[in-house]
Structure 1
Amino acid sequence: MDPPLILIIVLTFAFAATRLERAFLGGRTNLLASLQYVLIGVLVGPLGLALLDGERLASLEPLLAVVTGFVGFLVGLSLDLRSLRQRPAGTFTFGLVTGLITATLVGGLAWVALSSFPTPSLADATPAALALAAATLGLGAIITAVESLESGILAARADGPVSRLLPIAAQTLRAVAIIGFGLALASDRASSDAGGLPVLSWDGIAVGAGLGLAFIFHVFVGHERDEKKLFLATIGVVALASGVAHALQFSALFVNLVAGMAVANVSRAAPALLRADVRLRRPLFVVLLLLAGAGWQPPPGILWVIPAGYLVLRALALRVGARAAVAFTAADIDADTPHLGDALLGQGALAAAVAENYAMVSDGGSLASVVVTTLLVGAAVNDLWYAPALRSVLQKAGECGRLPDADAPVPAAPVPAPAPAAQAPPTAP
């Protein structure tokens, strides 16, 4: 089967699946989405029916790079600094502190586990490779699905300090995760550079690539208002940025996030651009999860301890990080709100994007399979229970049901009572 035909089939499936989800679920979130599309990918991949074998998956690697880049560009478009300045004090700091604590705990323990695990399959990994793998797991742990979180809050009809804080925290967490991951990959590039460029130089090149492409976009189509033209221009910029990142072994997520963020803060076309591009978000997530499942390679049996431990450790680290952040920041949140970090469990396809971005630049082997498996399993499993966990947090905060039900019938306005008839004046005798 030719690569163009495979590409058409994959994209057709993604758009059809998205249309069916919208038809049957409406605005509700599909809790099984991450798991079901990864499993479909495994079914059609080399471990299943082999409809997508290794050679065909290799031919689709440029598509995967563009898809991950588009996801990063969408995240960057949402980072308008003008709107960030209008948010309540402490909300950004809450997400930042939660992310730093969680990533440090998970990443540090992941490095200890990977470095000391008694298996020959990890014995050949270099210290730099182990550090990058641990950093990827730590930063992947703080990814939170913003759209799923907002959908859950809306479904609970919740309103209050916690309900307003959580989406902002989730936006901060995913931005910190992508930025940290991108800088980690660029720094790792310095360790393999024969020319001896320092770490900061490679970090600067990665940032400069995103800013340069944003400048090109702004110069040529920055004042455009036609959403179709903006959409086509976005595809070109994202494809170019993803190609540059892939060639230099950078993170396509990070380079495109920098480009998207620059466009959001410089170009007046950013709102129209976001409206045009956001329609592709769900189909791209389907493509990402499908290809991630198809290319998945299970780690050796004993290494499955790491994904299992990651699930427990991430949940505990989010609780610790969120509780510490509430005490540290000026957010208007009760410090005794139990298990606030449970509301941030959902991850969605962005965790799969980080996993695949790591797989594309790593040397493969057992270390790569452990990292990719851990992130994919974490995304699929956490998406199963994040909704009840979120509702539990909102209920304990006393914020559920504060907003009117959008589907409830609006009561009719009371009909005013008729005015009493005027009495005729008495007649003279």
Structure 2
Amino acid sequence: MNATLVLVLVVIFSFAIGHLLTRYASRFVTLSGAEYILVGVLIGPHFPWKLLSAATVDRLAPLFSLLLGLVGFVLGLRGKREARRIDEGVAGFSSALLTLIAVSGAVLTALTLMFPADAAQADFVYNAVLLRTHGYLVEVHVASTHLWVALGVGAAAAVASPLLIESTRRLSAAGGRVSDLLEASARASQITAVLVSGVVLASARATDAASRYSMTVTEWVIASVAVGVVSGLLFGLFIGRESEPAKIFLATIGLVTFASGVGAALGISPLFVCLMAAVTVSLTSSHCAKVQGELDRLQHPLFVLVMIFAGTLWDPVRGWAWLFPALYVLVRFVGRRMATWLAVKLFLEDKLVTRRVGNGLLSQGTLAVAIGVNFAQRFPSFSSLILTTVLVGTLLSDLFSARALRALLADAGELGQEAPKVEESSEAPA
């Protein structure tokens, strides 16, 4: 089948399913990405029929960057609103960072043991002596690529999706202090993950380009922020006082295309650049509410497209490398519970009734997959490992996250009766 026809069918399928999710399913059930990832795997280059060949998938890299940019832009538009909940957000930021550190450390250790550092392929190798005793020497050798990959997987692990929390509150009339904390923490974790992944990819770009350019890590990070800010300011200049929804929508898509394209061309994160662009738009443009309203119609199709194209990129690992998804799920589960408990204890003045608050932040969603895709594109030699770890880890986490959340809210006394009638939700499955 012609690759162009396959792409057209995928887009039509995504928008059709997205419409159904917006109109019906999102009001009664929570979303799972497993079926869409399976669609991507089936049309990808790793099955005999190869509806999309490997060469075609490579040529679709700009489209993947655009999708990543849209995810970051939608997230950034909410930044101004979420910043008002700073008290609960601090606990969410802290919990996400601690989870990121725990998962990154575990993945880095496993990478170092299973894939010894190759100085010829790494930008740098960090060597350190851990122990000298009785004639024995314990050393550690950490390659730059291992470090960036581990931090990327850790950033994906830091994400907690607010979708499950919102849908549970909607379907079960749940509400209260724990529910509010969980939702704010999930939003904060998304911002944290994108910021960290942006800094990591800018750092990787700095070390990769050290022999050609004289820009430092700090300068690359500043450049990444500047690209996003300038893109956001250009949007305000370009759109002017325009009020027609169709033109605002087209201008928004043009902005995201430009910002994500520049980010991809520079080898930095389209997610991060478009997040910065969206934050700039939300702070400087009077069209922010209209832009967000126009992007609402893309939210569910975007969820479907990201999952499908992640499936097309996924080439499952073999052998012992399957330990990585198990390690990801285990360390993230333990780390998230402990980190959230500690963050709540340190940063909230009023103590919560329950200690299991981390159980409400186990679900992940679109953003974790998008971060995995971003790092898989940036480090193709580890693409299979990154996508296997993040995709399988995300799907496994979703198997028990809903039950854990409901048990937590029931324990906190916030789980009410199922609402007989609810409003349609326009929140993105992120």
- Fold similarity call, TM over 0.5: yes
What 5-or-longer segments of structure 2 have no aligned partner?
123-142, 423-430
Would you say the 8 A contact 2:106–2:327 is kept in 1?
A: no
Aligned to 1:99: 96
Would you say the 8 A contact 2:74–2:278 is kept in 1?
A: yes
TM-superposed CA distance for 1:282, in Å, is: 1.0
Q: 1:312 and 1:324 mapped to 2: Cα distance?
A: 18
Q: 2:309 and 2:118 mapped to 1: Cα distance?
A: 25
**Which of 319, 334, 341 is equivalent to 1:301?**
319
Q: 1:156 and 1:10 mapped to 2: Cα distance?
A: 34
- For the residue of structure 2 that corresponds to 1:141, the secondary structure is helix
Would you say the 8 A contact 1:338–1:393 is kept in 2?
A: no
Q: Deviations over 1:357-383 (max 9, x none)?
A: 112211x22x33111211111222222
Aligned to 1:28: 28
**Which of 160, 179, 193 is equivalent to 2:176?**
160
Q: Deviations over 1:185-222 (max 9, x none)?
A: 00110111122311111111111000010010011215
Q: 1:30 and 1:318 mapped to 2: Cα distance?
A: 21
Is 1:50 the equivalent of 2:25?
A: no
Structure 1 residues 207, 273: closer, same or farther in 2, change over 3 A?
Answer: same
Question: Aligned ranges for residues 347-362 of structure 1 at < 5 Å?
Answer: 347-362=364-379
Give the counterpart letter for 1:375 in structure 2: V
Is 1:151 the equivalent of 2:167?
A: yes
Is 1:253 the equivalent of 2:271?
A: yes
Q: 1:122 and 1:182 mapped to 2: Cα distance?
A: 25
- For the residue of structure 2 that corresponds to 1:223, the secondary structure is coil
Would you say the 8 A contact 1:223–1:267 is kept in 2?
A: no
Question: Aligned ranges for residues 306-317 of structure 1 at < 5 Å?
Answer: 306-317=324-335
- For the residue of structure 2 that corresponds to 1:90, the secondary structure is helix
TM-superposed CA distance for 1:45, in Å, is: 1.3
Question: Aligned ranges for residues 227-376 of structure 1 at < 5 Å?
Answer: 227-330=245-348, 332-334=350-352, 337-362=354-379, 364-365=380-381, 367-376=382-391
TM-superposed CA distance for 1:263, in Å, is: 0.5
User: Structure 2 length as normaliser, TM-score?
Assistant: 0.88
Q: 1:227 and 1:99 mapped to 2: Cα distance?
A: 36
Q: Deviations over 1:89-125 (max 9, x none)?
A: 62011101101111111111211111112x5798976
Q: 2:308 and 2:83 mapped to 1: Cα distance?
A: 38
Structure 1 residues 255, 24: closer, same or farther in 2, change over 3 A?
Answer: same
TM-superposed CA distance for 1:4, in Å, is: 4.2
Q: 2:158 and 2:415 mapped to 1: Cα distance?
A: 25
Structure 1 residues 374, 177: closer, same or farther in 2, change over 3 A?
Answer: same
Segments ≥4 residues shifted beyond 4 Å: 1-4, 119-125
Aligned to 2:67: 67
What 5-or-longer segments of structure 1 have no aligned partner?
409-429
Give the counterpart letter for 2:190 in structure 1: R
Q: 2:272 and 2:68 mapped to 1: Cα distance?
A: 10
Would you say the 8 A contact 2:256–2:274 is kept in 1?
A: yes
Aligned to 1:421: none
In the alignment of these two chains, the number of paired residues is 399
**Which of 373, 383, 399 is equivalent to 2:414?**
399
Q: Deviations over 1:297-356 (max 9, x none)?
A: 11231111011111111011100111001110125441x613211111111111111111
Q: 1:124 and 1:314 mapped to 2: Cα distance?
A: 32
Q: 1:214 and 1:244 mapped to 2: Cα distance?
A: 13
**Which of 128, 144, 156 is equivalent to 1:140?**
156
Q: Deviations over 1:211-265 (max 9, x none)?
A: 0100100112153332221111011010111111111111000000000011011
User: Structure 1 length as normaliser, TM-score?
Assistant: 0.88
TM-superposed CA distance for 1:62, in Å, is: 1.2
Aligned to 1:424: none
Give the counterpart letter for 2:152 in structure 1: T
**Which of 113, 122, 126 is equivalent to 2:110?**
113
Q: 1:269 and 1:3 mapped to 2: Cα distance?
A: 37
Aligned to 2:132: none
Give the counterpart letter for 2:184 in structure 1: I
Q: 2:293 and 2:285 mapped to 1: Cα distance?
A: 14
Q: 2:278 and 2:377 mapped to 1: Cα distance?
A: 22
Would you say the 8 A contact 1:319–1:339 is kept in 2?
A: yes
Q: Judge which range, 272-281 or 220-229, deviates more.
A: 220-229
Give the counterpart letter for 1:68 in structure 2: L
Q: 1:166 and 1:99 mapped to 2: Cα distance?
A: 12
Structure 1 residues 11, 256: closer, same or farther in 2, change over 3 A?
Answer: same
Q: Deviations over 1:24-51 (max 9, x none)?
A: 52513444x3111111111111222311
**Which of 216, 226, 234 is equivalent to 2:244?**
226
| Identity fraction in percent | 34
Would you say the 8 A contact 2:338–2:358 is kept in 1?
A: yes
Give the counterpart letter for 1:155 in structure 2: L
Q: 1:295 and 1:232 mapped to 2: Cα distance?
A: 28
Q: Which has the larger Rg?
A: 1
